[in-house]
Amino acid sequence: MVKRRRRFKQTTTLAQRLMEQAGRLRERARQLPPGTEQTTLWRKVRQAETALRIEEWLSSPHVAAPRDAMTLMRKNPRKRPAKSTHSSAS
């Protein structure tokens, strides 16, 4: 038996949905007292805003890497620890 995918036609753009989500989360976070739940909501707000920036960047006609990201990549290269070269004798 083949499973059929349930299809859903979006009526709003991804950017609109991300902005609405960030707005709703921001309002909920402002109403909460400081704590872990509020921190989690602020993190989700930042994630939605970051997703919005990425979506705008990818949908722009001139797709180029953001300058800030390239600067960070050059300043902060990931260094891997050196592998051990000696072997254990049995």
Local structure of residue 77 (DSSP, 8 states): -
Q: Residue 23: what pLDDT?
A: 96
The pLDDT value recorded for residue 35 is 95
Q: Where are the domains of the chain?
A: 14-74
Query: Per-residue confidence of the chain (90 residues) as pLDDT tens digits?
Result: 788 888 888 899 999 999 999 999 999 999 999 999 999 999 999 999 999 999 988 888 876 666 666 565 566 555 555 565 555 554
Confidence at residue 8, expressed as pLDDT on a 0 to 100 scale: 86
Model-wide pTM > 0.85: no
Q: Comparing C-alpha atoms, which of 27, 17, 18, 20 is closest to residue 52? A: 18
